[in-house]
Structure 1
């Protein structure tokens, strides 16, 4: 279908929404982006960009800019609390780069601002969306309404676009809290540890180290509930001593970003002129690092299928048919891996660390990773942009 005559509203300007806006605008559509946050650049801590997400960003022309702010991960491994390797993937290391989320957001929003076919409205809170393409939002103290040929809900777990349609959304109860921060107090360890306190990872980003951890034990959860940074650091130091110098770089409890794991599963992903991408459609556990990457792939595949089909309905149906089974496989695998990482009973952890994970290392095949990436890199790079 010809996108040049379309008026599109994208709700949410994080990675998936910004990428969708850029892709569709460069295909000729007129795009309005509604972002609830007044200043959406200074957000988040770090993000791991896998080969699929990197391919989408490179197709948009961000290759050189990303190379300047991203740091390659190298060969990842999982260790136990004593630092012993319990899992290392076979074959050459996967292509993954760590980047500050704010750096990625700045790259995307700079491009959005430079695109003449995109209007970005920050501080615009969507209050309703309807399958006929009408979107109501509040900005500058007054309510306004837009009418669009297509409304893309890239507005996360609490999606207002999803609320406006029949998406059969199933939201799991909030899971284990995860904390994230960027520090500069010690070098990155470049590994993820599965310990009695939960999991702890640290990887280099530009001008710092991205750290993340789960509150997998009663002690860590109590420290978070009490907002006691000292108790939290002590709990982690006991379970995984290398965490101590890294957590020493967190000056205040308020500097930690803490959110529970949220899972969303929708069927269908589209209703009338409404369609969902990213966490609005399929929020998943973070354990495979595919949340934001999947949102970027959603944006690229949505453009590809809309271009291939004669009608909007056919394009949206093809997008969902291509994406939903792949995303569901990844979300299921991430949930299982997350549950395995949070085993806290000493005997269970001993069996996991000394038998199950080493066995998984031996049985794993290089092709297993490709299936988690959902779309081949070559396919994503071949999608025409502009």
Structure 2
């Protein structure tokens, strides 16, 4: 069965767009990318690659590069200032061969950029304002129409400008809470293999995630984030640096050594989030991937992982089907079956961690740790954490050879720590 070679336009040069461009170019398709930024670069805080996302990188031959820069994360631990453990999950409790990988967005951006370089066309400074889904054409902000293309992939993120071309969304709303973030030196932090979080009710949350290095910067770093309502960004960032630092350190005095490197609040980057559920992910020659298809709260930390899985599933669907409508339907069907449970849990969990509902937070503090010690509850929590939960009871199989590749990638870092 011969597969047709397609002329494909991708809108957006984030993780989803980069991964799709690389995989589809590898399959011989002619790919053009339209990116609104004049000088594309990584946007956002550090993130945690789960075994699902790591499996995609393994499949496309980029896992070793990711492991060279990322920081293995073996455990997620969250507690309150009084020392009450709210969450404590170790990857080894699900599978001794698994772990997460903390990464800087700049590292993954450069790895994907270098792998795709020379394989297609990247049009920078070209914001796409409209698409004709049936004709396969797109219009840029200068009024010019481009195409027709056999396929247009919208990968323009949670605030997608093209999502409406797929029809009315079931849900499409911003979250009232976001985060301020920055990168800090890892030196002096004693929990280098863990994602650590500190909560005060659901109103205050600090996170510290080891994210390794990036090309051009060999210094290991931590991703710091401070949760707060979006409406408080301005006041927090215009306030006195001393009062912000004092508030952060009072919430987490044990982390004072690394938190002393925090910049003044006005220099922290902003992150805001969106909840989007589409009625249909494709229409005509247009299909959505990544946050453009299924934006959700960052509580489950699945954004980049889902983007990689979407790009992989779309590639596989185009390989399996000779007709574009059948391929897009197959892609949507397979990814919806995986994404749905994460939309459900992110919607229910977000008020427990980012809200003014003190009573809900009190219930969380009392119930989460005991639930996590129950066999079913712990297994379910770990599968959701690792991205391997598929539906209510199913499991997403791991990529063949991933455990061995992860063990080989971690060995040099273990040797360096023991030396």
TM over 0.5: yes
Q: Residue 148 of structure 1: CA displacement?
A: 0.6
Distance 1:111 1:80 in 2: 42
Indicate the residue corresponding to 2:283 in structure 1.
Answer: 271
Deviation string, structure 1 residues 123-158 (Cα, Å, up to 9, x no partner):
2211211112101124xx673522210000000122
Q: Residue 257 of structure 1: CA displacement?
A: 1.6
Instruction: Summarize the Cα distance change of 1:13–1:173 in structure 2 as closer, same or farther, 3 Å threshold.
Output: closer
Indicate the residue corresponding to 2:371 in structure 1.
Answer: 360
Distance 2:331 2:152 in 1: 14
* Over 6 Å off, 4+ runs: none
- Select 1:199's aligned residue among 196, 200, 205: 205
Instruction: Summarize the Cα distance change of 1:179–1:99 in structure 2 as closer, same or farther, 3 Å threshold.
Output: same
Do residues 233 (structure 1) and 245 (structure 2) align?
A: yes
- TM value normalised by structure 2: 0.81
Distance 1:135 1:108 in 2: 25
Kindly indicate whether the alpha-carbon contact (under 8 Å) linking 2:182 and 2:225 is maintained by their aligned counterparts in 1.
Answer: yes
Distance 1:170 1:146 in 2: 30
- Select 1:248's aligned residue among 260, 285, 307: 260
Do residues 99 (structure 1) and 103 (structure 2) align?
A: yes
| Count of residue correspondences | 375
* SS across alignment from 1:38: coil
Indicate the residue corresponding to 1:24 in structure 2.
Answer: 24
Indicate the residue corresponding to 2:122 in structure 1.
Answer: 120
Distance 2:150 2:230 in 1: 48
Indicate the residue corresponding to 2:337 in structure 1.
Answer: 325
Unaligned stretches of 5+ in structure 1?
A: 382-386
Instruction: Summarize the Cα distance change of 1:261–1:203 in structure 2 as closer, same or farther, 3 Å threshold.
Output: same
Distance 2:114 2:288 in 1: 24
Indicate the residue corresponding to 1:370 in structure 2.
Answer: 383
- TM value normalised by structure 1: 0.88
Distance 1:175 1:231 in 2: 24
Instruction: Summarize the Cα distance change of 1:350–1:339 in structure 2 as closer, same or farther, 3 Å threshold.
Output: closer
Kindly indicate whether the alpha-carbon contact (under 8 Å) linking 2:177 and 2:355 is maintained by their aligned counterparts in 1.
Answer: no
Do residues 336 (structure 1) and 348 (structure 2) align?
A: yes
Distance 1:228 1:262 in 2: 29
Q: Residue 246 of structure 1: CA displacement?
A: 3.6
Do residues 55 (structure 1) and 55 (structure 2) align?
A: yes
Instruction: Summarize the Cα distance change of 1:277–1:124 in structure 2 as closer, same or farther, 3 Å threshold.
Output: same
Distance 1:69 1:84 in 2: 33
* SS across alignment from 1:251: coil
* SS across alignment from 1:108: helix
**Paired residues for 1:30-179 under 5 Å:** 30-89=30-89, 91-92=93-94, 95-115=99-119, 118-131=120-133, 132-138=135-141, 143-168=144-169, 170-179=171-180
Deviation string, structure 1 residues 299-335 (Cα, Å, up to 9, x no partner):
1111111221231111111111111232121022122
Indicate the residue corresponding to 1:384 in structure 2.
Answer: none
Indicate the residue corresponding to 1:214 in structure 2.
Answer: 227
Distance 2:47 2:277 in 1: 22
